[in-house]
Chains A and B, each alone.
Chain A
Amino acid sequence: MRRAIVTTTATAAGVVLLLSLKPHGQTASAQAPVISSGSDTSSTNSTTSTNSSGSGAGGSAAASPSAGPSSSTKAVGGSSGTSTKASYTGQAVDTRYGPVQVRIDVSGGRISKIDVLQYPDEMQRDQDINSYALPVLNQEALSAQSAQIDSVSGATYTSDGYTQSLQSALDQAGLK
């Protein structure tokens, strides 16, 4: 099983735990438009590869070793204002429905934005599902950092690829 990720803000401690349970085969998938969530809409991202497999482009922060449930809960946030910003692209992860890849923007030790660069959309139903479920997952991952909303309820489909790609991006960012 994979890792726990802990992010801490000034007022709340938020943890995103990624459970990645579903075995998956590999299917090809067309490139899909980017799904984005987060307050930061400026474009400071480094160029990213949307090819499948391998670590994507990323910023300069040191990669974090993987952390298991026994890892420490580390405060990485709490700062505000003019901190540096960087983006990290997670690995493209093959799922039974096709590859999923996310990119995160990190500002002041917090995730400010999550883009879904690749997701399966071969069938209309895939598009319908993904255009809803992936933003819900993004909202969930970001909601712990929002002052307005504490959490988001919504129907999500199995998100193995999403969680793995997000984990890989967080590892690169040194967030845990």
Chain B
Amino acid sequence: MGTVFSFVVRDPSPAVDEALHAAVARLHAIDARFSPYRADSEVSRIAHGESALADASPELVEVMARCAEIEALTGGWFSPYPEGRLDPSGWVKGWAVEQACELLCEAGSTEHCVNGGGDVQSVGGPWRIGVADPFRPGELASVLVGRDLVVATSGTAERGAHILDPRTGEAPTGLLSLTLVSSGPARLAHTDACATAAFAMGAEQGLAWAGRQPDLEALAILPDPALPKRATSGFLRYAV
């Protein structure tokens, strides 16, 4: 991973302040167990054959179960083995953000928004979440507004294994970025993993697939600035 997590809390209090630090500690703990970039993480040890998945921690077993659900839902376009080696990051990052939100909620916060590397879970609101424009650095392609808004973007700017087509090992073409929007508590891991899969599917199939999901809307930015952005029919109810 190696990314930036940011928190916005609209209802700060001493208890929430404490929860922020607990959330930070929780993120570090998740990183220590699941990072594919740390040689001593559980995921790395299994990926390198030093440990068996059969002996995995309950936490990793749970993550693998969720990954399997997304893999089935997406017809194999999401995989916890994106390069043939264990790497459930595509689920873990969003799940880590959800955990941070949960700690803030338990401390009494009802108004916060957590961003993990460009993927956002918000609680309360309404919140205004910008979608970065791949063609105009520093500008926004769209602004989404809603309560409990969840926004995840996959794109060619990601340099991670998880944007490869798990079927071919190749980078997908036909899309610059694909954003999925949803709403509700603890929705980011699901939404983010689905964004990864839909991006890998490409523009036509990805949009069609997202359109069939009852709880997801999509915005696709194509690789040519002359081409219009495309979205699923329900996307506009989130857009400003």
Q: Tell me the A residues contacting B by CB distance below 8 Å.
A: 1, 4, 6, 8, 11-23, 35-37, 69-71, 73, 128-129, 131-141, 143-144, 148-160, 162-163
Contact = CB atoms under 8 A, between A and B. Distances in A.
A21 B38 CA distance: 7
B2 interface: yes
B118 A6 contact: no
Contact of B3 (A23, A139, A143, A158): A158
Interface of B: 1-10, 12, 16-17, 20-21, 24-25, 27-28, 31-32, 35, 37-38, 113, 115, 117-120, 122, 127-132, 134, 137-138, 140, 143, 151-160, 177, 179
A153 B179 contact: yes
A64 to B, nearest CB: 16
B48 to A, nearest CB: 14
B158 A151 contact: no
A148 to B, nearest CB: 7
Contacts of B31: 1, 19, 21
Given A23-B37, A141-B6, A154-B155, 17 more contacts: A1-B28, A12-B9, A13-B12, A15-B6, A15-B7, A19-B28, A21-B2, A135-B137, A151-B151, A152-B131, A153-B130, A155-B118, A155-B132, A156-B3, A156-B117, A156-B118, A158-B160
A151 B21 contact: no
Nearest to A1: B28
A152 B8 CA distance: 12
Contacts of A136: 118, 132, 157
The 6 lowest CB-CB distance pairs between A and B, nearest first, are: A154-B132, A155-B155, A157-B159, A135-B137, A22-B2, A15-B7
